Structure 1
Amino acid sequence: MKKTLLHITLALLFAGTVSSCNKILEAPSKSALDESVIFSNQDLAEGAVAGIIQSFGETNSYRGRYLVFYGINTDAEVNNSLKNPGDEKSRLSNYNTNVNNTQMNTDNNAWAKFYEGIERANLAIRGLRSYGNIEQRPEMAYILGEILTLRAVVYNDLVKAWGDVPARFEPLSTASIYIERSDRDVIYKQLLADLEEAQNYLPWPNQSAKTSNVEHINKAFAKGLRARLALSAGGYSQRADGVRKSNDPELESKKMYELAKKECLDIINSGAAKLLGFEEVFKTLCQEKGQAGLESLWEIPFSEGRGRVIFDLGVKHTTTDKYTGQNKGGTNGPNPIMFYEYEKEDVRRDVSCVPYEWTGGVQVPTNLGKWYFGKYRYEWMSRVVTSTNDDGLNWMYMRYADVLLMAAEAINELDGPNAAAPYFKMIRERAYPNNPEKVTAYMQQITTSKDVFFHALVNERALEFTGEMLRKGDLIRWNLLGVKLAEAKQKLQQLENRQGKYAALPANIYYKTAADGEKVEIYGLNFGDTDAVGAAAGYTSSKKWTMAASSDQTTFWDALYLRDPNTQQFWPIWQYFLDNSNGKLNNNGFSFQ
């Protein structure tokens, strides 16, 4: 039986898919593939990497499920259809997820595809260790390092979405077909060890032909991912007995901060990455340049015919036009309060939060309850998207700004705010390129104590990463998920009713199409704008700037979360997988419906 499983799974490594364990065992055993041949040959072994990446791009994997549904709703990012709270898509984000959710409860969804990728990685890791001669062949060692890191990426996202999950670090066998959830601490420790090993095999960006492109794994990304995992492992999360930190002494918070600090400083001191202008970061992404050594550390590579980054997360085009052959975008967007969290001088604001969509090739204002992530735009691409179903844009999984802010967070905890300040300041200086005096004054304010600096960093990560789906994981590890969602709920209500800090905002916006015939000019979004000035300024159109609509099933703020977020930090294991686990899997300890 072991030989049968080996032949079948080797075939799956390159072409097939795993939809259930029963189907694996029923598949034909004949195969010409041999592990010793595949993993001693560089070209064939590189095919294993392609097989793992294929699992990322499948319809219901990262492409069409995880990237669009994980990480919302928060104080920074929301599902733009959240006011339909009973919709199955809304239920994936409003902290009321059901075990038989029709978007996920299938045999080929993200859970299945992630474990498919893990199985392919496990086979390749075993094969490379056995036949790759990695001590003498650096090209094979690189492949091993890349696959160890890719497996860590998948496990990172499994744990973020589901908490405790089955730990599979060896290829499937008859004894391991059905296994229980593992404590996430076991997984964290294995991943931290794997990434420490992988670093030894991986060159820095641009240190080799492979690492000249952000679609291949490099040492900087492996170190950055290890830092991200350490901060999560040492932080808070929901467990069966409540929200708490790990009890494992190896994952104690101070140790994890020390690990994160070391890894981040290694990247910073290497000079292997750098900050670009904020808008330039995302124009570079959308133009698909792929050059390593800039801000992007690694991207999930999608071909032109796969991937739905702009399709789901970008600025919406309601009709096809000269920029795109698909009328898509805007499934998710910024929480309406986010625009008003930025200062007007912060260049990140108008890149991150867009108050218009495209119709007939012209920008048209939306409404206060519907914003779009301006980081992903068809109009910034170097090619016209012709597919009606995918845009093919890569997903930027990590960028250098995250490394700087993780460094600032860890160093503040270990050494205090003055030691951490230089890394935070680099982010702030980029955000305010024309206002250095504001940066100086702000840094003086936030370095008065460790606690003040920490809360400034909590806010800065929202301003920097809105639209990149890091916020939910951050809030969970800080034990601030419930707190920040409650604050957001109150702010949304105040914003709609023009109360509190929003009291002086205009009730309307005033707008016109610019002289180029495409862009929209809007007045009434900024603090200090007034209805009196807007009405007299000669704009051709105006509209009430509100979240409310006659078709609403509920208010925006009441739709943000339906149950206590701290008891709903994770998705349930879907019913299909419970039913096919031979009784090994369950959602005990979590109040899923």
Structure 2
Amino acid sequence: MKKYIATIITFSLLLNACKTDDLELSNGSGVSAETFPQTLAELQQTMNGVYSPLQSQGLYGRYLFYMYDYMGDDCQTQRGTPDLLEFINYTFTSSNNDIYLYWKNAYNGISRANFILDKEANINELEDSVAPQEVKDRYIGQAKFLRAYYYFLLVERFGDIPLYTTTNVSPNGLAKSSKEDVYDLIISDLTDAASKLRLKSSEEAGRVTQGSANALLGKVYLYKQEYTLAKAAFDKVINSGEYSLTANYYDNFNTETENNSESVFEVQFTYDGGNAWAYADWGGQDNGHSETTFRSAEYGAFGGFHNNDPSQELLDEYEDGDSRFSDNFYVAGDAYGIGGANTVTEDQVGAVSALWRKYTKTYGQDNANYNGLSDINHRAIRYADVLLMAAEVENELNNSQAAIDYLNEVRDRVNMPNYGADVMNATYPVTTKAEVFNAIVHERRVELAGEQSRFPDLMRWGLIETVLGSKFNASKNYLLPIPQGEFDTNLMLDASADQNPGY
């Protein structure tokens, strides 16, 4: 399933995606919202619409990776537009349009999932000749997973938020629900989704699976510090036999090896779908959909926008001989482009010592800018991340050897010395729980560089203040501001009483 939006039932969503009058099914396909669905094709096309906000500018199309990478310590920049620089400098306010698009696009996905889940009884009443029960369950499971995923993106960044579980709500909007209530829905949705979704081996590439649900469920429990429950969820993924690390680390960041054995949940992108330069909802415009991402051009230096460079602290984290360094970064003298015909120059590197290679198109074309866009899928959850999260859980449960074994499984892929070996004891000993944790912090940083993990890791570990210093304001920056656009349209929220502290 390389494309989410093809011959799709059109969703028209206005500024507040979760009000009853904001969700409307176009009748261009002859579909009635009251009787939906009547065919399996209607259900499948509508489900594509639940996936599609993942590709939006507010999420994996553009701003999500900026927010997460700029707000950690893995990047630096001498460029970037003023709204983007607000993330690296922590000067954003409720008027930041990128934060609003993140919020809005996530709620768009929730509203679309709710539309399908509101019709669960209709779906289950379809004749088996139209869709067997296993197929009906599969679509309900996908909607529940995606609703949970969008809510996880929101609750981790904003805390207490409006909790929409149906499209049948007051046009005035909803008041905020507690973070705990949002998490309860996420856990309920993922638990039910895991019981309904297919295994990866029997599912269409690009669709969420049982492993996707259990991996995200484990991540949610890990973030909530409920380690026994997290272990149970991760064990289901690890013991399923459905996933393995790819032999080549770099296979996780190009087009030709997408949806591989390491892919647990992958956001699909393609050059084939939609208007390539449709900045959907950017500045209030709606120029159609696009199924491409700006990730390559934004981070790429060769013909790209060069708005993000790796920080020296990140580069220094790599051990000598770690091939992940050269898979993630270019340095002067490296070959790039078609057939490696070009060479990175000192002038191209400039004031920094390395440039991003990961997720850039320069492995198969001469520059990072294919009209500014890329078709490389975003690996939102990959098996290496699951193993590293499982290592963290095992360490918290005082199962240090199990934790070390998971860490070493990740290192074995790139032929790095194992933790516990004499050569590692000088820099990363693993004789205590605290030392194993330090190894986990190191391994997550070098394995997942530029994959939007460092910032949430620092936040949940309580290390963000120490790492970022004075630019991180602990009295407010643990949460993002609720966008002013939400206060403008949701009459059940008050900007004075309901805004997050400090904004």
TM-score range, shorter chain: 0.7 to 0.9
Alignment of 1:52-451 (within 5 A): 52-81=50-79, 87-104=82-99, 109-133=101-125, 137-174=133-170, 177-206=172-201, 208-210=202-204, 213=205, 215-232=206-223, 234=224, 253=225, 256-282=226-252, 285-292=253-260, 294-304=261-271, 305=276, 306-317=291-302, 327-355=303-331, 361-365=342-346, 366-369=349-352, 371-381=354-364, 387-433=370-416, 435=417, 439=421, 441-442=423-424, 446-451=429-434
Aligned pair in 2 of structure 1 residues 22, 420: CA closer, same or farther (>3 Å)? closer
- Contact 1:111–1:158 at 8 Å: present in 2 too? yes
Amino acid at match of 2:151: Y
Query: SS at 1:432's partner residue?
Result: coil
Count, aligned residues: 463
Amino acid at match of 2:375: G
Alignment of 1:15-30 (within 5 A): 15-20=11-16, 25=21
Query: SS at 1:200's partner residue?
Result: helix
1:246 is matched with none
Q: Distance in 2 between matches of 1:123 and 1:130?
A: 12
Aligned pair in 2 of structure 1 residues 298, 415: CA closer, same or farther (>3 Å)? same
**Residue deviations 1:334-387, cap 9 Å, x none?**
221111111111111222233459799542231354743321121334899885
Q: Distance in 1 between matches of 2:21 and 2:419?
A: 67
Query: SS at 1:572's partner residue?
Result: coil
Aligned pair in 2 of structure 1 residues 416, 22: CA closer, same or farther (>3 Å)? closer
C-alpha displacement of 1:74: 1.8
- Contact 2:70–2:88 at 8 Å: present in 1 too? yes
Q: Distance in 1 between matches of 2:187 and 2:96?
A: 33
Amino acid at match of 2:184: K
Amino acid at match of 2:479: F
Aligned pair in 2 of structure 1 residues 80, 46: CA closer, same or farther (>3 Å)? farther
1:43 is matched with 41
- Contact 1:231–1:260 at 8 Å: present in 2 too? yes
C-alpha displacement of 1:194: 0.8
**Residue of 33, 52, 68 corresponding to 2:31:** 33
C-alpha displacement of 1:458: 1.5
Q: Distance in 2 between matches of 1:141 and 1:75?
A: 42
**Residue deviations 1:520-579, cap 9 Å, x none?**
xxxxxxxxxxxxxxxxxxxxxxxxxxxxxxxxxxxxxxxxx6342563123212222222
- Contact 1:482–1:566 at 8 Å: present in 2 too? no
C-alpha displacement of 1:131: 2.8
1:483 is matched with 466
1:474 is matched with 457
Aligned pair in 2 of structure 1 residues 96, 404: CA closer, same or farther (>3 Å)? same
Amino acid at match of 1:330: H
- Contact 1:257–1:410 at 8 Å: present in 2 too? yes
Aligned pair in 2 of structure 1 residues 407, 575: CA closer, same or farther (>3 Å)? same
- Contact 1:36–1:131 at 8 Å: present in 2 too? no
Amino acid at match of 1:116: N
Q: Distance in 2 between matches of 1:76 and 1:278?
A: 23
1:564 is matched with 473
Q: Distance in 2 between matches of 1:164 and 1:575?
A: 16
- The alignment's C-alpha RMSD in Å is 3.3
Q: Distance in 1 between matches of 2:208 and 2:18?
A: 33
Amino acid at match of 1:178: G
Amino acid at match of 1:189: D
Q: Which moved more, 1:22-31 or 1:271-280?
A: 22-31
Query: SS at 1:63's partner residue?
Result: coil
C-alpha displacement of 1:440: 6.0
- Contact 1:287–1:382 at 8 Å: present in 2 too? no
Gaps of 5+ in 2: 1-7, 277-290
- Contact 1:310–1:391 at 8 Å: present in 2 too? yes
C-alpha displacement of 1:78: 3.9
Query: SS at 1:44's partner residue?
Result: helix
Query: SS at 1:289's partner residue?
Result: coil
Q: Distance in 1 between matches of 2:143 and 2:19?
A: 25
Aligned pair in 2 of structure 1 residues 329, 297: CA closer, same or farther (>3 Å)? farther
C-alpha displacement of 1:447: 3.1
C-alpha displacement of 1:50: 1.1
Q: Distance in 1 between matches of 2:384 and 2:393?
A: 14
Query: SS at 1:286's partner residue?
Result: coil
1:590 is matched with 501
Aligned pair in 2 of structure 1 residues 410, 437: CA closer, same or farther (>3 Å)? closer
Q: Distance in 1 between matches of 2:48 and 2:23?
A: 22
- Contact 2:158–2:480 at 8 Å: present in 1 too? yes
- Contact 1:96–1:563 at 8 Å: present in 2 too? no
Amino acid at match of 2:501: F
Aligned pair in 2 of structure 1 residues 352, 387: CA closer, same or farther (>3 Å)? closer
Structure 1 vs Structure 2: percent identity of aligned residues? Answer: 21
Aligned pair in 2 of structure 1 residues 28, 377: CA closer, same or farther (>3 Å)? closer
- Contact 1:77–1:469 at 8 Å: present in 2 too? no
Query: SS at 1:297's partner residue?
Result: strand
C-alpha displacement of 1:466: 0.8
Query: SS at 1:424's partner residue?
Result: helix
Amino acid at match of 1:372: L
Q: Distance in 2 between matches of 1:375 and 1:295?
A: 16
Residues 1:459 and 2:442 are matched in the alignment:
yes
C-alpha displacement of 1:89: 1.5
Amino acid at match of 1:279: Y
